[in-house]
Amino acid sequence: MDLCKRLNSTARLAIVGLDSSRPARLREFLAGPVALVTPQDAGNLIGQVDAVLLCTRDGRDHAAQALPLLRAGISVWVDKPLATREADARAMVGAAAATRVVLACRSGFRDAAATREAEAWVRDQAGPVTVTIEGPADPRSPYGGLAHYGVHHVELACELAARPLDVHSATDRRARLTGENLTVDLVFRPEAEAFTITAGERLRIEAPATYLEDQVAAFLDAVERGLGTADPEALVEPVRLLERILG
């Protein structure tokens, strides 16, 4: 909280999106005046703010919503997925690089204790291994089908892989990703209530309780320090895989 009080004294900030629980949670967390606008009014923020938290759910819309802001020199934190098409993701990271601003997007499950344990298990194996990631994702979701929540499966797979993965096969229920000495089976269960990783043993994945606040604090710190986007390719990689899974 102290960090956000300090940041809000120097960075003008807005939250875009009214279709999720994120705006209310973030407004409670952030100190100081924070504008809350609809996606349709996001263009009015140009020249008025330094950073935007883009909290809309449908990743198909994120590029159209974020690109005008990024091109105007406004840093943007995006609720996952960053996008559902690789071309959109590359346009977004390109715009951020051109104006030297921060673009951020990350699944909180990547920072779970179970993810760290599974990552260590994969790293310690002598030969090829198979890991299974299961969790909720509904191909009928109005927020981009499997992309909404299925992006968690993909980001977890990226976190476990030492090198880029490829999509071997994909349906509405399962996808198989393959890489050097690693196969990751993704299982999409609309009825599931939790995410699990099976890596030697089955582990329940629980994101840190303050993952959202921690991400936003890190984003705002990078904005204040003028650090730019840390790893553009890491932002694109989950979208590249997600697009191939969605077909």
Q: State the Cα–Cα distance between residues 214 and 201, nearest whole angstrom.
A: 29
Q: Which of 206, 183, 131, 96 is nearest to 78 (CA)?
A: 96
* pLDDT above 90: residue 110: yes
Q: State the Cα–Cα distance between residues 239 and 117, nearest whole angstrom.
A: 24
* pLDDT above 90: residue 20: no
Q: State the Cα–Cα distance between residues 131 and 198, nearest whole angstrom.
A: 6
* pLDDT above 50: residue 1: no
Domains with residue ranges and CATH for the chain: 2-107+209-231 (3.40.50.720), 108-205 (3.30.360.10)
Comparing 84 with 21, which gets the higher pLDDT?
84
What count of residues does the chain have? 247
pLDDT in tens, 185-209: 999 999 999 999 999 999 999 999 9
What is the value of pTM for the model shown? Answer: 0.93
* DSSP line for 129-156: EEEEEEE---TT-TTTTTHHHHHHHHHH
As a whole number, mean pLDDT of residues 178-190 equals 97
Strands 195-199 and 201-205: antiparallel
- The SS3 call for residue 17 is coil
The residues pairing with 53 across neighbouring beta strands, listed in sequence order, are 15, 77
pLDDT in tens, 123-152: 999 889 999 999 999 999 999 999 999 999
Asked if 97 and 71 count as a contact pair (C-beta separation under 8 A), the reply is: no
